[in-house]
Amino acid sequence: MRIGHGYDIHRFEDKITKKQIILGGVTIPYERGIEAHSDGDVVIHAICDALLGAAALGDIGQHFPESSPAFANADSRMLLATVLNLIEEKQYRVGNIDVTIIAQVPKIQPHVSAMREILAQDLKISMNDINIKATTHEGLDAIGNKQGLAVHAIALLFSCSL
């Protein structure tokens, strides 16, 4: 077994341009979008880092650099598919994923089931093997002041070569 941890944080756009955000592959209506080079899906970005870390394959920035125009507005689900291929090439499979979303806004709970469904399908695991929970920062710091959101993810990988 191998364990990896991932973390991502993004600020909300200052200008109202998008009126939605994407978390865990789910489009959620919100008054502001997320500032990001890709689609800004912090849930998937944290999961990618957790998977890459567990497989000792570096981090998301190494594989999909923000400096590369190839990843401008990239669909994070495509990035996740690439990461999954990399860990499968090293003969690992995903055991389970645990995600914590830290956001004062928007409300996350109504979207958790849809996120779990999409991510389970993308990761080729059962919905019983992915957990997503959310918490606020109780009005403290930049997240509590509704300036952005963050995500922690933990991934467990099993070796397929045993």
Give me the DSSP letters along the chain.
-EEEEEEEEEEBPSS---SEEEETTEEEE-SS-B--SS---HHHHHHHHHHHHHTT---HHHHS-TT-GGGTT--HHHHHHHHHHHHHHTTEEEEEEEEEEE-SSS--GGGHHHHHHHHHHHHTS-GGGEEEEEE--TT-HHHHTTSEEEEEEEEEEEES--
pTM of the model: 0.95
Domain span including residue 59: 2-159
Whether the pLDDT of residue 85 is over 70: the answer is yes
**pLDDT interval class at 162 (50, 70, 90):** low
The pLDDT tens digits for 27-36 are: 999 989 898 8
Counted domains in the chain: 1
Predicted confidence at residue 65, as pLDDT, reads 84
Predicted confidence at residue 19, as pLDDT, reads 80
Q: What is the mean pLDDT of residues 2-7?
A: 98
Residue 142 belongs to a domain with what CATH number?
A: 3.30.1330.50
